[in-house]
Amino acid sequence: MRWSLVVPVKHLGRAKSRLAPALGPHREGLALAIACDTVAAALACPAVAGVFAVTEDPRAGAELAALGAVVVTGEPGTGLNPALAHGARAARWVSPEAGVCALSADLPALRSSELARVLAAAAGHGRSFLADSPGVGTTLYAATPGSRFAPAFEGASRERHLASGARELLLADVESVRRDVDTLDDLTAALALGAGPRTLRLAVAVLEERTP
């Protein structure tokens, strides 16, 4: 099975607000770098038929399109899950034979091989999800062709996805698909895993500025 990945990318002016004290003027740049590294790794995965980036930010849209993503605009503006549903409709119109998978845009250490393992496991269930590293949120939600796409991201989404009947994917050695970034500690953990080149380049520049 091949998959259409729906990746939501916030307007850069609102992205990574919890990192603002540490990153200062680099916050928007880091948010974009993380999204680009995530999308580039996803596009390199053989199981991925296409990446649909849902964003209203023109700068993010231009850079993600240059990587090969399909940029989906016109999101309803009523939150993350409606934006994902909007992207899923576009994905199913383009590739009705593919499964649809919502993927966090905050996975700077994403490895294509680990994503392939997760998607292979997801193919065995109608609806499934992968919890984030702390085990509270969700980084990936998948629906096979013909299955209802009903993501419940944000906050304690693992419990909501379980309650909805989606199967939790319990896989070892897929930490790069689970390690999303919201805080400085998260970023440090992603860098330890091996972040993508854009994230790494900017993170090194920030650290050099902060070093006395």
Which residues belong to the annotated binding site? 138, 157
| Binding-site positions for phosphoenolpyruvate | 138, 157
Type of residue found at 155: G
**Count of residues in the chain:** 212
Residue by residue, DSSP assigns 151-167 as ---SSSHHHHHHHTTPE
The residue whose two tokens read 């906050």 is: 155
Which residues, including other chains, have CB under 8 Å from residue 104's CB and lie 6 or more apart? Answer: 7, 38, 132, 138, 139, 140, 180
Pair of tokens at residue 79: 């939150």
What b/e sequence results for 11-26 when a residue is b if at least 16 CB atoms lie within 10 Å of its CB, and e otherwise?
ebeebbeebeeebeeb
**Calpha distance 109→191 (Å, rounded):** 7
